C-alpha cells in the first residue's frame, strides 16, 4: 500500500566497517560469524576502565579517494565519502550523468569530527594557532559528512546531516525517504559515519560506565540479549545506501535490494542515557514505521534490533517488541548484530539498514553472535549461533539513542 506516494527502493550499498568493506565485504564479515572487537591499538587505553573497541583494521583512504582530497578530510569524512563512492558503484550509477539537482545526500553522525578536533588540542597548546590544521574548522561539524559527499560528486539536491546520537544514521535514511517521496529528489545517498576512537572521546563514554569492561575477552564483550552483557563496545565505521524512486530504478534495470517502505521517529522525553522503562515510545516508533509503510505487525518476519548489549536497552527493546507484535513477537526472527562490529554510534543504524537490505536480497538472517545464556527478560527468538536461511517479506530495523531518540525503518521485499 502506498496511497499514491512515490515509492522508494534501495539500489546500492556502500560500507566501511570493522568486519568488511563494500557490500560484499560486509556480507563476508557477517558470514564469518566472528567479532572484530579487540584491544585498542589507536591509542594507549591502559588508563581506562574499558580498553577494547572495534577498529577498522585496513582502511586506506587513498585507495578510494584522490590523494590530495583524502589529505584534506579527517577520518570521519573519509569514511563517509568512501562509503558513498562504494554505494554509487554498487548501484551502477555514474555521478557525471545524473541531474545534479535531483540527487542529494543525507547523513547522520553523533560526534562528527570531534576526534579530529581532540587531536588538534595538543598542537594548539604547544604551538598556538599556527599549530592548527587549516581543515579543523571545516572538519569538526557533523554536516561535513553530507557536504563532502555533495562536493565529491557535484550533487546539488537536498543535503543535511543530523546529530541525533545513536539513531542518526536511521534518521538520515528516513529523511532521505521523505525527500524522494515528496519529489524533492529522485536519488538520495543516505547513511551515517562515525570515527570516535580518540582518547578523550572514548574516555567520556568509559567514565559514565556505559561500555563493557570485558577487557580480557574482547571478542565476546558485545553480547546483545545475553545475561552476561555489561555494556556496549565502541566501534567506528560508515554505511551509505542509494535510495531511488522505484519507477526510475525499474526503467534503468537497476538491481533492487528492497523497498524502503516506512519510517517512524519518537522521543522518550525521559532521561539522557536511560531508556524509558516501559518502552512505549520505542514501540510507538515501530508502530509509526509500520503504519507509514502500510504494513501489519503480523507481516514482519525479521527485526534487526538496536541490541546495544547494555543491560537496560536490550530488555526495554524486548518489551517494546512485545507491545508492538503481541503473540507474533515470539514468531519473529530477531538479531542484534553489534556483536560483530561494536557500536559505531551514529553510523550503526545505517550499517544495520544495509545489513537488512543485504539479508533480504541474499535470504539469510545473521545471528546474534556471543549470545550464550539468553537473559530471561529477552526471551524472543534472537538467533544465537549460525543465523538462519529465510526470505522475510518485511523487515524492521531499530535504532535507539542517548537523549531518548527512537527511530525505526521498514523494508519490504521488492
Q: Residue 157: how many CB atoms within 10 A of its CB?
A: 22
Three-class SS string for 220-256?
HCCCCCECCCCCECEECEEEEEEEEEHHHHHHCCCCC
Cβ–Cβ under 8 Å, residues 195 and 43: no
**108: which residues sit within 8 A by CB, 6+ positions away?**
142, 145, 161, 162, 163, 164, 167, 168, 169, 170, 171, 172, 191, 192, 346, 347, 349, 350
Return the exposure string of 26-49: e unless at least 16 CB atoms fall within 10 Å of the residue's CB, then b: bbebbeeeebbbbebeeeebeebe
Residues marked active site are found at 166, 306, 343
Cβ–Cβ under 8 Å, residues 411 and 258: yes
Can you tell me the distance from the alpha carbon of 293 to that of 284, in angstroms, rounded to the nearest whole number? 14
- CA-to-CA separations, 1 to 290, 293, 294, 295, 412, in angstroms, rounded: 11, 7, 5, 8, 11
Amino acid at each position: 500500500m502506498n496511497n499514491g506516494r512515490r515509492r522508494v527502493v534501495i539500489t546500492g550499498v556502500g560500507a566501511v566497517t570493522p568486519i568488511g568493506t563494500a557490500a560484499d565485504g560486509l556480507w563476508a564479515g557477517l558470514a564469518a560469524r566472528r567479532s572484530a572487537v579487540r584491544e585498542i591499538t589507536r591509542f594507549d587505553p591502559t588508563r581506562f576502565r574499558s580498553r577494547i573497541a572495534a577498529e577498522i583494521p585496513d582502511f586506506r583512504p587513498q585507495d578510494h579517494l584522490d590523494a590530495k582530497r583524502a589529505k584534506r578530510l579527517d577520518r570521519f569524512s573519509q569514511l563517509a565519502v568512501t562509503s558513498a563512492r562504494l554505494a554509487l558503484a554498487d548501484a551502477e550509477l555514474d555521478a557525471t550523468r545524473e541531474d545534479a539537482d535531483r540527487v542529494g545526500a543525507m547523513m547522520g553522525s553523533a560526534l562528527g569530527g570531534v576526534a579530529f578536533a581532540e587531536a588538534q588540542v595538543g598542537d594548539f597548546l604547544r604551538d598556538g594557532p599556527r599549530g592548527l590544521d587549516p581543515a579543523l574548522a571545516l572538519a569538526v561539524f557533523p554536516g561535513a559528512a553530507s557536504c563532502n559527499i555533495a562536493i565529491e560528486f557535484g550533487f546539488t539536491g537536498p543535503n543535511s546531516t543530523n546529530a541525533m546520537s545513536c539513531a542518526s544514521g536511521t534518521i538520515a535514511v528516513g529523511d532521505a525517504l521523505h525527500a524522494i517521496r515528496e519529489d524533492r529528489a529522485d536519488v538520495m545517498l543516505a547513511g551515517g559515519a562515525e570515527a570516535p576512537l580518540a582518547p578523550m572521546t572514548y574516555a567520556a563514554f568509559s567514565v559514565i560506565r556505559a561500555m563493557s569492561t570485558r577487557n580480557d575477552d574482547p571478542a565476546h564483550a558485545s553480547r546483545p540479549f545475553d545475561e552476561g552483557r555489561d555494556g556496549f563496545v565502541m566501534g567506528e565505521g560508515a554505511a551509505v545506501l542509494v535510495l531511488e524512486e522505484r519507477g526510475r530504478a525499474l526503467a534503468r534495470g537497476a538491481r533492487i535490494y528492497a523497498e524502503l517502505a516506512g519510517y517512524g521517529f519518537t522521543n522518550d522525553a525521559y532521561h539522557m542515557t536511560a531508556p524509558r522503562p516501559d518502552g512505549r515510545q520505542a514501540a510507538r516508533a515501530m508502530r509509526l514505521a509500520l503504519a507509514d509503510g502500510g504494513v501489519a505487525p503480523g507481516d514482519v518476519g525479521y527485526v534487526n534490533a538496536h541490541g546495544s548489549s547494555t543491560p537496560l536497552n536490550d530488555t526495554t527493546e524486548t518489551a517494546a517488541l512485545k507491545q508492538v507484535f503481541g503473540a507474533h513477537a515470539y514468531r519473529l526472527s530477531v538479531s542484534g548484530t553489534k556483536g560483530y562490529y561494536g557500536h559505531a554510534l551514529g553510523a550503526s543504524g545505517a550499517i544495520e539498514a544495509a545489513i537488512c537490505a543485504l539479508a533480504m536480497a541474499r535470504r539469510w538472517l545473521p545471528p546474534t553472535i556471543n549470545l550464550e545464556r539468553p537473559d530471561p527478560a529477552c526471551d524472543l527468538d534472537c538467533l544465537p549461533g549460525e543465523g538462519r536461511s529465510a526470505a522475510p517479506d518485511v523487515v524492521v530495523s531499530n535504532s535507539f539513542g542517548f537523549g531518548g531518540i527512537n527511530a525505526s525503518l521498514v523494508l519490504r521485499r521488492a
